Structure 1
Amino acid sequence: MLALFISFGRHFSLVYDIFFNLFPYFDKFRVPHMILILVQFNVAIFAAFGMDFILKTKEIKMPKWFLPMIVPFALFFVVLIFGGNNLERFVSSYFAAPRTSDPAQIQMINAMRWDLWTKDAWTMLFFSGSFFVLCWLVFQSKITSKVFASAVIGLAIFDLLVVDNKIINPDRSSGRGSQLISKRFVREFYRPDPIVNYLAEDKSDFRIYPAGQLFGESRFAAFGLESIGGYHPAKLKVYNDLLINTQNAGVFPVLKMLNAKYLLVPDAQQIAHPELSLVKKGSLRLSRGEMPTAVYRLDNYLPRAWFIKDLKVAKKENIWQKITDPSFDPRDEAFIYDPIDFKVNTLGKITSFVKSIHKISLSTESTEDQFLVLSEIFYPKKWIAYVDGNPVTTLQVNGLLRGVRIPKGSHTVEFIYDKTSFNRGLLISILCTLVSLGLITIGLKRQTKNEVFQSN
């Protein structure tokens, strides 16, 4: 019941607010109703216990709670029959306002909602009534417990088929589309196109910048193309702040520091800019169809990692203004929040760069101390920097990126994702699974011994 109440979120704030404000990490859950999985799991467990009790009991008497349990469903049945317009007005008052100002569309949407509500209400009463009839029959010894169990399982399977059909083949009048994607659509979605093929031929480390309506397109990831745009429901706040304060990173200094090498412009628009070169025109396949697209190369793009000459201190509230200033050149200077003693005359060299999902490794050579900028999101809680195997402090550079000080000489610099918490959770899950299997095994052995003892 507690999980059910929590799932209502702000609609039952009495319980939800207590957990949100007082319980550690509870505010990290994005969707409150996902906790309903606990309700579904526990209901299935309790149902199994109830079914096991009925199957093992030879003489089943009608419990005292049976008839009172029927009363709320009977009252709901009466209200559904005789409620009429009053019931419709009451239920419709809780419908969320449609996202349209057209009165005709609002009326149509609310009528569709009411139709779905009434159909689901009658479906619920059908299954509940069928279950109560089966319970009465088994309590009155009209049917055996095995027949009862078979009928209940049949009802459950029928209910699943009804729900699955609504998801897979929804009625057109419901306004819902199928949640399944056809194989043909998937094949078309992952079939390369001239633009993707051109970009995939470039084996260097770079990112693309999809401009305009292409910015939210996530299809590029399917081909291993790293995009500054795309869509994900959960973003790191520091990156979301960057997009909000820099016009979706659409200014040249920001594009350079983000390792953007190619700009994708929809409708093959012509752009005249001294730092851009048109390198490809063609058709780009999107989830909503194909679009003529132009690919421009940013001539002065920056690599994934580089050394800088000058470090400047900026306040957090001014950082976005600093990095969007046209005079800002991320190749030569960088902004940090806390001052450090740094001065360099001759820049070092990055002799190798290797990256994977959980590790980035660089080899550097220099004749004096350097400051390295890595064009990856600053996330010091999990991405730990090492120089020759020794952990070093990672600084937040230009409001978003990572930076570390490198001593003179030849060094190996590594950024390694810390999976300690994941491994700890995995270990706990494995131990809990083993304990659960052990308890089940012990329970089965004890049950077998009891049955042998009773038979003797």
Structure 2
Amino acid sequence: MKEFLKRPSVWGTILSIAVIAITAFAYFYPDAQQGRTLLQHDIQQGAAIGQEITQYQQLTGEKSFWTNSIFSGMPAFQISPSYPSSSLFRWINAVYGLGLPAPSHLLAMMMIGMFILLMSMKFKWHLSLIGAIAWGFSSYFVIIIGAGHIWKFVTLAYVPPTIAGLVLIYNGRRWLGAGTAALFMMMQIASNHVQMTYYFSWVMAGFVIAYGIEAFRARRMRRWAVSTAVAAAAMALAIGANLPNLYNTYEYSRHTMRGQHSELTPVAETSDPSDRTDGLDRSYITSYSYETGETFSLLIPNINGGASARPLKGGMSPLTVADTDRGRELMRADRTGQMQLLPLFSQYFGGPEGTNGPVYVGAIILALAILGAAIVRGPLKWALVILTLLSVCLALGRNMMWLTDLFIDYIPLYSKFRAVESILVIAEFTLPLLAMLGLRQFLTADNPWQTYRKPLLWSFGSCTALCAVAILWPALFGTTVMGDGDAIMIARYINAGALPAEFDINHYPEVVNAAESIRTSMVASDALRSILFIGVALIALVGAATGKCSRPVALAVIAVAVTADLYTADKRYLSSDAFTSAKATTDAFIPSAADKIILTDTDPHFRVLNAPEFYSAAPAYFHKSIGGYHAAKLTRYQDMIERHLAYMARPEVGQMLKIRADSAMNATFAAESPENHRRIMADLNVLDMLNTKYVITDPAQPPIINRNALGNAWLISSIAYVDTPDDEMLALDSISPATTAVADRAFRPILDDAVTAPAPGDGIRLTDYAPNRLTYKARTAEGAIAVFSEIYFPWGWTATIDGEETSIARVDYLLRALRLPPGEHEVVMTFDPRSVHVTDAAAKASVAAIYLILILGIAFTVTSRKPQS
């Protein structure tokens, strides 16, 4: 132990961890330490969606894999997924975050991972520390903390140590490498952001191929094959440890928008066959694409104006040119009134979707990465360069459609993910790694100035030249006013009534010129900023190379400059202004006047339509909502939204309910507008069959009671069988769901043709409710078909009648139905997929194997270092 503690690398590692902890702690000081918090939109949405199953688990200790809180009911496999086996490794997150308060622990996790990777690649601790800071403070990571994309962040934090395991395996330390790779891949998958894991599987493949080329050249292919087999086994164990989530999510995804297209014939005027893929539509995949000039944000953060909004006191605040010093000055000195229109122009002038901030890796890091690409030798360098260029090009999405189409059509799973600009996380990883490889190569050369003078000056000079171009001709990067983003913002103001419908910004040339001038100055100012940081690093490197200063001093200067560069840039996008009191977090869900009235209803199970917030998850915090927000909603429910429910998610729905309730008004409407009457009555019927008991059109007013809601279950008098999904959906326009059901012919063997009208006294009612277990009492004189206002899902749900299992059918496009025998019976529906239990047992075994391999790897490493006697 004494010999171990005498090693410089040990004390360097301890010092590095301390520096990482301090920098992560300092970034959010004093807010995180004072108990202030970030009120993140995505976290709020997740809390609302998961409220029902969270309360159920707190009450019973049981995890429900079904929730009725959004979209009238859906599996909860992608709503805070957790399984019994998850408890075996949940502790790792806390340890990995160094015990720091949130969200400081997230930055620590990100930096620790890169530090582990660089140390595994035999970097000295000081270079590993610089690389860790460069990776951890890359702007995108700080931005997604502010946006609340926490599990995306955590997934990315586990990427570098996973790759560290691969490095150890191919460098001959197979047990330790296998344990490390399996452990961190297990945590990466458990963090449940498949898109990020998918992207970095390309990076891992790049490492494997690079090591394969090295092995081929050295005639060690057998050794490489064995190492590859070990790596594959480690990945298999990591997958096994997450099998409950992976398997059940995969099976679930086959019935969602992510994995299944609608079976309905598209509406003609909105259909574009060329837009469709075997996953998401092309337009949806590329909806968030980097603009061509925006790529240079890697070097100059404000190359396209920075951000269109930023977190502020628990919300998102738009960032306009009026928020700049120049903008405020112009508005104060305004005499014509035109400058008061400056808030119409966002600081960001890239794509029409807007952004919370750019992907900025640091001017110094980019210059060093170019140096690394020029002077480092070997297949790994080329793998990193190719991956960098590929990620930059694919991030362009719709702006490089030939390449995007190629990947959508021919690369497996690529079409399953949207927001292609997020693939730049690969460049955010490869560029710091290339930078550290270049820095090590440069500083360890015998005569770096003699050997690498030209590459050094070329790499730093090219970055400086690009910055100079941005200063002299900033319009080259797209500062033109009235791009798509500007037009969209002005249209929003017009729609909100803040501007007259006839408003035309071209009638105000002074403000247009002022906005363009402010944007131009933002680009030029940031370009000059990057030049200054590049100059500091270049002076340090030239000084070290020529002997004018020591190499440790040069490294210290570069470390401070890299930290200062990224730290100050990041503060633009996530600063103390984003934090709010802890009380504000608890107040995020305050029931409205309408909510309070509904909450007094003791009925355990009914649904609510909140028209103003139909596409938000917030109503799910208090109610079982027929709307919601989730990226993986069931395809059939999305069909129902598009064909019926979307028309009800408007304030006019209240008036429609009143018309239907008044026979005279209803008759007049039917006579004056028969087609509109037919369509609206069909839409209202859908609300009825989903047991929509309350409708909110104004949260400040009492809700409207829908007295036609059909309840939890009812008995029908007739059933119609159809051949296609189109016929099934079309039938909903004409049937009365209270008495008639429509079903696909595939369910005829379950439901049969013989349907007897309910006799007096026949009925079915809910007697006990839990999200994953519904109990009913039924009485029928001659047997009947019961329809349930519950969403049909093809697996996981079982139904019993007096304890005897029976088959569940689908009717009315998305509801459940059962055939009931004569007499009084207890009907129980339970969602307890057998696959959850089977896969969880396999996961526990995999976790145990990972821990065992890691312990053996550490033991073998320690014993192999002992001196021979």
In which range does the TM-score fall when normalised by the shorter chain? 0.7 to 0.9
Please tell me whether residue 334 in structure 1 is matched to residue 741 in structure 2: yes
Q: Counterpart in 2 of 1:257? A: 689
Deviation digits for residues 118-166 of structure 1 (CA, Å, limit 9, x no counterpart): 3333333333333333222222233333333332332232233323321
Shift of 1:29: 0.6
Distance 1:428 1:122 in 2: 56
Q: Structure 1 residues 304, 410: CA separation in 2 closer, same or farther (over 3 Å shift)?
A: closer
Aligned to 1:303, which of 694, 711, 719? 711
| Residue identity opposite 1:354 in structure 2 | Y
1:6-155 equivalences in 2 (<5 Å): 6-47=394-435, 57=444, 61-62=448-449, 63-64=451-452, 65-81=455-471, 83-84=472-473, 87-88=474-475, 91-92=478-479, 96=484, 98=486, 99=488, 100=490, 102-103=505-506, 104=508, 110-155=516-561
| Residue identity opposite 2:598 in structure 1 | L
Deviation digits for residues 290-312 of structure 1 (CA, Å, limit 9, x no counterpart): xx312122223233344434221
Assess if the C-alpha contact under 8 Å between 2:480 and 2:516 holds in 1.
no
Distance 1:68 1:432 in 2: 50
Distance 2:839 2:516 in 1: 45
Q: Which has the higher contact order (CA 8 A, sep 6+)?
A: 2
Please tell me whether residue 362 in structure 1 is matched to residue 775 in structure 2: yes
Q: Counterpart in 1 of 2:226? A: none
Q: Counterpart in 2 of 1:415? A: 831
Moved more, 340-349 or 383-392: 383-392
Distance 1:443 1:139 in 2: 40
Q: Counterpart in 1 of 2:812? A: 398
Distance 2:479 2:845 in 1: 47
Q: Structure 1 residues 138, 433: CA separation in 2 closer, same or farther (over 3 Å shift)?
A: farther
| Residue identity opposite 2:693 in structure 1 | K
1:378-389 equivalences in 2 (<5 Å): 378-380=792-794, 383-387=796-800
Distance 2:546 2:790 in 1: 70
Shift of 1:32: 0.9
| Residue identity opposite 2:753 in structure 1 | F
Distance 2:806 2:433 in 1: 50
Please tell me whether residue 343 in structure 1 is matched to residue 754 in structure 2: yes
Unaligned 5+ residue runs, structure 1? 171-177, 267-283, 285-291
SS of corresponding position for 1:137 = helix
1:217-296 equivalences in 2 (<5 Å): 218-222=617-621, 224-232=622-630, 235-246=633-644, 248=646, 250=648, 251-266=683-698, 284=699, 292-296=700-704
| Residue identity opposite 2:609 in structure 1 | Y
Deviation digits for residues 88-131 of structure 1 (CA, Å, limit 9, x no counterpart): 25633696452245234765655554344333333333333333
Q: Across the two proteins, how many residue pairs are aligned to each other?
A: 410
| Residue identity opposite 2:816 in structure 1 | R
Q: Counterpart in 1 of 2:595? A: 196
Q: Counterpart in 1 of 2:571? A: 165
SS of corresponding position for 1:245 = helix
Distance 1:411 1:441 in 2: 55
CA RMSD of aligned residues (A): 4.3
Assess if the C-alpha contact under 8 Å between 2:713 and 2:764 holds in 1.
no
| Residue identity opposite 2:627 in structure 1 | G
Q: Structure 1 residues 35, 378: CA separation in 2 closer, same or farther (over 3 Å shift)?
A: farther
Assess if the C-alpha contact under 8 Å between 2:714 and 2:763 holds in 1.
no
Q: Counterpart in 2 of 1:275? A: none
TM-score (norm 2): 0.41
SS of corresponding position for 2:553 = helix
| Residue identity opposite 2:556 in structure 1 | S
TM-score (norm 1): 0.72
Q: Counterpart in 2 of 1:373? A: 787
Distance 2:527 2:849 in 1: 40
Shift of 1:445: 4.7
| Residue identity opposite 1:192 in structure 2 | P
Q: Structure 1 residues 205, 52: CA separation in 2 closer, same or farther (over 3 Å shift)?
A: farther
Assess if the C-alpha contact under 8 Å between 1:167 and 1:179 holds in 2.
no
Distance 2:686 2:475 in 1: 55
Q: Counterpart in 1 of 2:609? A: 209
Q: Structure 1 residues 61, 449: CA separation in 2 closer, same or farther (over 3 Å shift)?
A: farther
| Residue identity opposite 1:17 in structure 2 | D
| Residue identity opposite 2:639 in structure 1 | D
Q: Counterpart in 2 of 1:289? A: none
Deviation digits for residues 422-443 of structure 1 (CA, Å, limit 9, x no counterpart): 9699789969976996798489
Distance 1:106 1:386 in 2: 65
Distance 1:164 1:384 in 2: 48
Q: Structure 1 residues 374, 184: CA separation in 2 closer, same or farther (over 3 Å shift)?
A: same
Assess if the C-alpha contact under 8 Å between 1:371 and 1:404 holds in 2.
yes
SS of corresponding position for 2:710 = coil
Q: Counterpart in 2 of 1:280? A: none
SS of corresponding position for 2:572 = helix
| Residue identity opposite 2:427 in structure 1 | V
SS of corresponding position for 1:40 = helix
Distance 2:706 2:432 in 1: 58
Shift of 1:262: 0.9
Assess if the C-alpha contact under 8 Å between 2:718 and 2:741 holds in 1.
yes
Distance 2:853 2:575 in 1: 39
Distance 1:437 1:142 in 2: 46
Q: Structure 1 residues 143, 226: CA separation in 2 closer, same or farther (over 3 Å shift)?
A: farther
Distance 1:206 1:349 in 2: 15
Shift of 1:9: 1.4
Q: Structure 1 residues 348, 59: CA separation in 2 closer, same or farther (over 3 Å shift)?
A: farther
SS of corresponding position for 2:702 = strand
